[in-house]
Amino acid sequence: MAGAARSLEEWARREAGKCISCGFCEAACPTLALGPHRAYGPRGRVQLARHALESGSLGGEGLAGVYTCLLCAACVPRCPAGIDIPGLVRALRSLVASGRVEAPRWAPVRVRG
Binding site for ligand SF4 (CB under 6 A): 19-25, 28-31, 42-43, 45-46, 69-75, 78-79, 81, 83, 85-86
Half-sphere exposure of 79 (CA within 13 A, CB side): 22
Q: How far is the CB of 10 from ligand SF4 (least distance, A)?
A: 19
Q: How far is the CB of 108 from ligand SF4 (least distance, A)?
A: 18
H runs (alpha helix) in 56-100: 60-67, 85-97
Q: Between residues 56 and 80, which has the closer beta carbon with respect to ligand SF4?
A: 80
Most distant CA atoms of the chain, gap in Å: 43
